Structure formats: C-alpha cells, structure tokens
Amino acid sequence: MAEAETPPQQRTILVVDDDESTLQMLGTFLRRHGYRALTATNPIAAMQILDVERVDLVITDLMMPHVDGISFTQQIHQLPQHAHVPVIMITAYGTDAVTDQGMRRGVALTLPKPLELSKLLDLVGFATH
C-alpha cells in the first residue's frame, strides 16, 4: 500500500520578499491553496523564523537589500535542521547565468517575474513532495 501524501496544510512554506505587496499576495495565495505560509520582509527576519520553525520549502526573491536570494539560500543550508530544504527563487533577472549560479549554490528552482501563479503552484507541489 502506498504511503499517504502529507496534506498541504501540514506543509509550511516561508516566503521572503522585500516587496510588501508581493509578500502579501504570495502568502494569501499559498494559504488559499492549503499551505501554512510564513512571511518575512528580509533574510534577517527569515533566519529568525527558521530558528524556531520547521519549514518544508522557502520561496525567496533574488534582489533584496543586504543579502541576495542566492546568498540567503546558502545561509539556510548551513543550518543543520534546514540543510536539505528546497528553495525556489523568484526573480526579474531570470537569465541563464543567474539560474545557473543559483543552482550551483543550492537553489532548487528559479521562477521568473512576472509570476505565473499556476506555475508557482506546480513548482511548490513538486518541491514539497
């Protein structure tokens, strides 16, 4: 007998973006699809959340003040409890070079802006299974 899938509501996703409207939209979108969505406006606040929460996925913007999404991904994976958490990076700079650099440094998937929410939902489902 196949193992039962974990319901989405038991999966926690941390969304990190310095743009408040994007952050609110993504959090609301994920919650409407049954996920537990935590949000942070910067990597420092996100690391504080990661200190106390177990997450199944991180969605982060590439361009943020102080720490970019790729460096932030490396910080996440340095935490033993989050070393294998998949990271989806969203970016308006979705060049092959950025995607390649992100993948070499731990980003699982890259999604270009403007976001296609149906594609994001597909990637979230893929990354959290």
Q: Which residues span the domain enclosing 91?
A: 8-127
Output the pLDDT for position 77.
95
Residue 97 has pLDDT above 90, yes or no: no
Residue at 3 is within a domain = no
Instruction: Kindly report whether the global pTM for this prediction surpasses the value 0.75.
Output: yes
Q: Report residue 129's pLDDT band, with 50, 70 and 90 as the boundaries.
A: confident
Residue 98 has pLDDT above 80, yes or no: no
Q: How far apart are CA 129 and CA 114, in angstroms?
A: 25
Taking phi over 0 as left and psi of -120 to 50 as alpha, with beta for the rest, 107 belongs to beta
What are the structure tokens assigned to 98, written together? 């950025």
Domain containing 81 — which CATH number? 3.40.50.2300
Residue at 61 is within a domain = yes
* pLDDT tens digit sequence for 38-79: 999 999 999 999 999 999 999 999 998 889 999 999 999 999
